[in-house]
């Protein structure tokens, strides 16, 4: 069974730009969650999607958004990038008790 895949793995952007990250969950999983991981703030929950609907949302500004497609693939978008958005963005697939994380997308904002 293929694991969670995230693309791209690495990304460099400049302040003010926007970025879109992609996550393909494990086949059959309908739930996708997104997390931000930084050395200073640790792992923080961004949002969760289930069957194309946002089911839960963390405490992040509106610049962070996401969506889920009918095939359960999910994208997250960050607009007007700030230096502090530099982080590892992790996607997790599956129900809460058996979440499988992808390897993450490392975003560097210059």
Residues interacting with another protein, by CB under 8 A?
4, 33, 42-45, 48, 55-59, 90, 92, 95-104
Choice between 16 and 108, CB closer to another protein: 108
CB of 68 to another protein, least distance (A): 15
* CB-count burial class (<10 Å; 0-12, 13-18, 19+) for 99: middle
Choice between 20 and 88, CB closer to another protein: 88
CB of 96 to another protein, least distance (A): 6
CA dihedral in degrees (108, 42, 62, 55; nearest 10)? 120
For 51, phi then psi, to 5°, come to 50, 50
């Amino acid at each position: 069974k293929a694991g969670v895949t995230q693309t791209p793995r690495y990304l460099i952007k400049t302040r003010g730009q926007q970025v879109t990250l992609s996550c393909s969950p494990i086949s059959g999983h309908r739930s996708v969650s997104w997390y931000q991981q930084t050395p200073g703030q640790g792992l923080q929950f961004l949002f969760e999607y289930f069957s194309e609907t946002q089911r839960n949302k963390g405490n992040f500004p509106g610049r962070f958004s996401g969506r889920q497609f009918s095939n359960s693939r999910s994208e997250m978008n960050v607009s007007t990038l700030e230096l502090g958005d530099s982080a590892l963005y992790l996607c997790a697939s599956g129900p809460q008790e058996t979440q499988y994380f992808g390897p993450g997308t490392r975003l560097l904002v210059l």
